Amino acid sequence: MSPQPTKLPQPKALLFDIGGVCVISPFQAILDYEHENGIPIGWINFAIQKGPYDTGAWQLIERGEVELDDKWFLAFRDQLSVREHWVEFIQREREHGVAGVGEKGDEIPQVPAIDGKKLFWRMMRISRTPDPYMYPALLALRQHYPHIVLAALSNTVRFPTDILDDRGVLFTKDLTHPPDAKYTNLTPDISTCFDVFISSAHVGLRKPDPKAYELAVRECNRVAKEKGLEGEIKAGEVLFLDDIGVNLKGARKCGLRTLKVDLGRTREAVRELEEAVGGRLIEGEGKARL
């Protein structure tokens, strides 16, 4: 009989990504945009990830090094239009036998025309909606687990004051409350749910930079001391939840425990989180255990 896996101790800190974990994933907006415009699924995320670390439009805006303005939207469009990256993506998809991208040896089609400004604002609007499972779990954690430090480490954008979206509507980061929401006690500013909130655009570090995880662990330890919690928080005592593989890989390299939150499967992720903390966080289909 094979030995049973050893149960890890309860984490001293929980480190949450925001988009795709605590709120609806902006990747859903990307997926919808690709479906609606006949773009091969995965191309936009591929193009974003291929952006050079030092000069990619998406990478720069998430480190707060450039302004969110029309010049940036043009740069973002250009990042999604690099022919070399498009050829690499199509060839990779063909190698894997993905349907809808042609066969090996076929001529590579033109790079899809993407409205970067429209896409960006769709991503931002959808990510204002709290996740129906993880958000109430977060509320329950705050009430029932005061000895666990709650922290967030999110790749973010710094929005200028009074900025209008692509529809000419004043944009606000306040969370929206969908009519079928199963949670209560909605707070407009999600950062108030955490003891520590690290925004990449405000600290100049974005995941998966090791310095971002190191900063998060230091901040968790600082808060633990302020709360009078026993012992120092080390990286291995922090459980990090994210929906992006490269971010989770970076966290593991820094010694953190990780929990993958797959798109559309936050309910399952909450159950794994409950296993980690040793107690129920939500009841039924998503009502917080308050």
Q: Which of 184, 209, 183, 212 minimizes the C-alpha distance to 196?
A: 212
CATH 1.10.150 is held by the domain 27-121? yes
* The pLDDT of residue 5 is above 60: no
Please indicate, yes or no, whether the overall pTM of this predicted structure exceeds 0.85.
yes
pLDDT tens-digit series, residues 239-269: 999 999 999 999 999 999 999 999 989 999 9
Percent of the chain that is helix, strand, coil (3-state, to 5): 40, 10, 45
Q: Which of 20, 268, 237 is nearest to 130 (CA)?
A: 20
* Pair 116, 123: CB distance under 8 Å: no
CATH T-level assignment (fold) for domain 13-24+129-288: Rossmann fold (3.40.50)
Domain ranges of the chain: 13-24+129-288, 27-121
Q: How many residues does the chain have?
A: 290
For 156-204, write each residue's pLDDT tens digit: 999 999 999 999 999 998 998 765 666 556 778 999 999 999 999 999 9
Dmax (CA) of the chain: 65
